[in-house]
Amino acid sequence: MGDAVELRAGLATAVGPVPFDDAVAASRFVLATQPELPTVPSAGTGPASLLAQAVDGLAGVSVGPGGLLAVDHDVFDSAAIAAAIRSGEVPVGHRCPVLGRFLRMAREHAAGVAGFTGVRAPLLGPVTLALALRGAGVPLEDAALLARELVPRRATALLGGLREVLVDEVAVVCLNEPGLVGAMHPTFPMAPSEVLDLLEPVVRALDQHPDAGRLLIGVHVPGRTDWPTILASGASLVSTPADANVVGWVAELADFLERGGRVAWGAVPVDQPLGTSEERLWRRLSGAWCELVAEGVDPLLLRRASLVSPVDGLGHFGPTQAELALRHVHSLSVRVGRQALAARLSLGA
């Protein structure tokens, strides 16, 4: 079981993909723009993408030029691969090509940043991996079997890699689950129980890691989804767009916050013009929070448990756009922190 985690209200973070192919350049950008809780950089497509990292070393599976999975069905055998994973024949260590370099740079960076809290590390989630395999022609049952065996082991190996460098700091292992967008739609190929059956083993494996320490287990979904099922997995952080989709799960969110859960609000869009000021974005975030408070969520607890981030990754941005997006995140972060402090002072807390 992980240790208790305290975070500054409004802490700024990000999702992962950044517009740099070079590991050093990507790491420098991340540490400069996310100084307190930097996210291990990845790419949106190619060998450094989360999808490529997820399937690295699996016989008959590759990532094509368009970023989609390709499966050689003459070679691929999900049951045999799953058995080989269980026996240790398939290496399942963390496959992030920039992790070691980034963590060394982060360790040096932390010495000069008073507010440094820890590191967020993204990992492709098991539902999205299973759906990607399904899209490449693998039967969903076989794809889910493979994801259930593989992702918990990848996740614990990633946490182990973080703990080799960050012994006492906060580690956030966050499952990126874009495949869960639209999970409440009748045409979604998995039932809630099947989604939970994939998420729970990852959460459990991380929570029981002997070096868990100050750990947050996150799930990031960049759109409308079945948040009650995700919360039921035991995750301690959810990453969601700051829009009206949250109002439908007020009861579950209130309970989640009461139990110490955190929410990373995707308050900066990645699919529309950003503008030169964060004022419009602040009104949107505040509006979402006002709706939640009106439905019964504790306003002080909500602010204290909130982080701020872009809605999704910035890999398709240019460097200047990505920097602007993260400047907006920082400005919103400052506002949230000030508002939370003012609320505490007004209550004598």
String of DSSP letters for 11-51: EE---SB-S-SSHHHHHHHHHHH-SSS-B--BBSSSTTBHH
271 is a domain residue: yes
CA distance 227 to 248: 9
6 is a domain residue: no
317 is a domain residue: yes
Pair 336, 303: CB distance under 8 Å: yes
Confidence check: pLDDT of 323 > 50:
yes
Find the domain containing 182 and state its range.
11-346
Confidence check: pLDDT of 191 > 70:
yes
Q: What is the pLDDT of residue 246?
A: 75
Q: What is the pLDDT of residue 46?
A: 75
Pairing of strands 61-63, 69-71: antiparallel
3-class DSSP state of 173: strand
107 is a domain residue: yes
249 is a domain residue: yes
pLDDT in tens, 77-133: 988 998 988 888 877 776 777 888 999 999 999 999 989 999 999 999 999 999 999
For residue 120, give the CATH number of its domain: 3.20.20.210
Residue corresponding to tokens 């992702």: 151
Query: What's the whole-model pTM score?
Result: 0.94
Compute φ and ψ for 306, nearest 5 degrees.
-100, 140
Q: What is the pLDDT of residue 89?
A: 82
Of 74-78, 248-252, 330-334, 337-341, least confident by mean pLDDT is 337-341
Compute φ and ψ for 64, nearest 5 degrees.
-75, 175
Q: Tell me the average pLDDT of the chain.
A: 91
In angstroms, what CA-CA distances link 187 with 95, 147, 170, 171, 183?
A: 33, 21, 38, 35, 8
4 is a domain residue: no
Q: What is the pLDDT of residue 1?
A: 47
pLDDT in tens, 133-167: 999 999 999 999 999 999 999 999 999 999 999 99
How many structural domains does the chain have?
1
